[in-house]
Each structure stands twice: as structure tokens, then as C-alpha cells.
Amino acid sequence: MTGKATILLVDDTRSNIEILAACLQHNYQLKVAMTGIRCLELAEKTPIPDLILLDVVMPDMDGYEVCRKLKESSVTKDIPVIFVTGKDSDEDEEYGLQLGAVDYITKPIRPAIVTARVGTQVILKQQSDALRSMALHDQLTSLFNRHFLIEAATNKISRLSRHGGKLSIMMIDIDHFKLVNDQFGHQNGDIVLQAVADVLADCNRKEDVVARFGGEEFVILLDHCSLDDTQDKAEQLRSKIEQLNPGKIHVTASFGIAELESENEGFEHLLARADAAVYSAKEKGRNCIVK
């Protein structure tokens, strides 16, 4: 993570917010909510908080209910929650922890204790974010990896089956890449892979997923994109790659594109069609697009 971690403070009493802010404002970026509903709104807005300090007794929705709702949503379920509350019985504490809170701090607020416990949870959150990011990205190119691609595609297809819409896929395979390695060495091969990956990453919309699928194969998932639009985009990319000349190495790629036929098609089948199209592009002489 770059910059300060973001902490959402939730309490219906202004003086409590002020005490918490005084402990934390130097080291963290703070967001403040004075109701449970407002907490749920702010928890989903970027920057998504790295930690939530949550009061229990609040008039509109109590902290336990807020925590339950946070844990139900895919956007907020991984945000750690620390209860900060006057409810100091063992039963309350046990209940809060069972709801998934990572810690339970009782009032009156002791600034040094809050600061120390918050520090521990922020470090744990940063470590778990870093691990997740590593698990989903390709190290050489920083693109998403195959694992993330399959997860994202499965989610997109299931959303499509509920709301409708289009989904297209582009598979890109570098031409004669084995020869690049043989002629210029594996390290220069890696430089070519990074340069091609940068072109693919730069040319895409935020909602698209660009992934390194295997050695010299890439896949782009294009949300709400027809096959014709995908073809136009593939043509732009094909031309950019051809003009790249990374390290004075001439490089081209073959493209296979396909559009999801129906929500029932399944990602594996869509992928297989794109793969077959890449194969045809190679047969046709490479550096071209087949649908």
C-alpha cells in the first residue's frame, strides 16, 4: 500500500470521535460516520477503509448489526472491525468477536491502548492485502494472473445471467517467441513480455481485466463489448505491438477473439473458442486477428 492507511471512525457521540481522532490523525487518513447507515455508505466508498472502529450503542442501527452487514457484502467483508464500546460484559465482548470483529476495546477510551491495537491491526491488514495482491498478479508483468482471470470471468458471467449484457474475450499469443529467446536470450525475452504487457494494460478501460494467461499468452476480458468493438480494439493493439520494437526486437502477436454466446456457455468454452481462433490466426500467417 502507498500512503497512509484509512480508518473509518464510527460513533454517535462527537466527543468520542474527537478523542479517537486525536490519537490517530497523525498517522492515518480518517473518515468519520456518526450513524450506522453512514458507516455502511462510507465503507463502500474509495478509499475503502483499512480498518473500522465501531461503536455499539447508536440510535439508528447498532454496531453489531452494522458489523453483520459489513461482513455480508463482498466489498466490505474483508475490512477489519474493532468494536470500541461501553458495553463491557463478557457476553457482549464474546458476541462482538463472534460477529467477526478482530478486537474489542472498552470505554472509557484509553488513547495509548487504542493507538497500539489499531497499529497492530493496520499492519496485519497491509500484510494480508500484499499477500492477496501477490496471489492474483503475475510477477514479471504486474498484470493479473490466470487465477484472478478465472475468478473475475466467473463473477462477470454470473452477473450477466442476472442483468444481461455482453462479454467478449481476446486471447493474444506472441509470434515465434521461442525464436526471440533463442536469438536474443531469455532476459531480452522477458523485456519483450513486459513491453507487450504494458501495451495491453495501457489500452484498456478500467472495467476490463488484462491477464497474463501463460508464458507468452495474454487474455483480456472485455465487459459490455461486442465482437465488432473487440475486433477494433484488437486491431489497435496488434498495430501497437508491431510498432513496439522493444530493445530493437521486432515482435508481433496473433489474436483470437470471441463473444459469450449465452450466460450458459461457461468461461472454459469461451476460452476454448478464443484459443481455436488464435490457432487459426497462426495458420493464416500470424500477426492477424481471427474471430
Active-site annotation, residues = 216
Q: Does 105 bind ligand GH3 (CB under 6 A)?
A: no
Per CB under 6 A, which region of 47-55, 71-79, 81-89, 172-180 contacts ligand GH3?
Answer: 172-180
- Per-residue x/- marks for Mg ion, 49-68, CB under 5 A? ------x-xx----------
Interaction partner, residue 57 (ligand GH3, Mg ion, none; CB < 5-8 Å by kind): Mg ion
Q: Which region among 20-28, 52-60, 128-136, 176-184 touches ligand GH3 (by CB under 6 A)?
A: 176-184
Residues in the chain: 291
Contact status: 251 vs ligand GH3 (CB under 6 A): no
Q: What are phi and psi of 281, to 5 degrees?
A: -60, -40
What separation in angstroms does the CA of 5 have from each of 21, 128, 140, 269?
14, 13, 27, 41
Nearest to 82 by CA among 129, 124, 25: 124
137 binds ligand GH3 (CB under 6 A): no
Cβ atoms < 10 Å from Cβ of 210: 22
Q: Give the C-alpha separation, 196 to 190, whole Å.
A: 10
DSSP string, 241-290: HHHH-GGG----EEEEEEE---TTS-HHHHHHHHHHHHHHHHHTTSSSEE
For 13, residues 6+ apart whose C-beta sits below 8 A from its C-beta are 55
Pick the binder of Mg ion from 64, 83, 104, 177 (CB under 5 A).
Answer: 177
The entry of Mg ion, ligand GH3, none that residue 65 binds, CB within 5 to 8 Å by partner kind: none
Write out the residues near Mg ion by the rule CB under 5 A. 12, 55, 57-58, 173-174, 177, 216-217
Residues interacting with ligand GH3, by CB under 6 A? 140, 173-178, 181, 186, 189-190, 193, 215-216, 282, 286
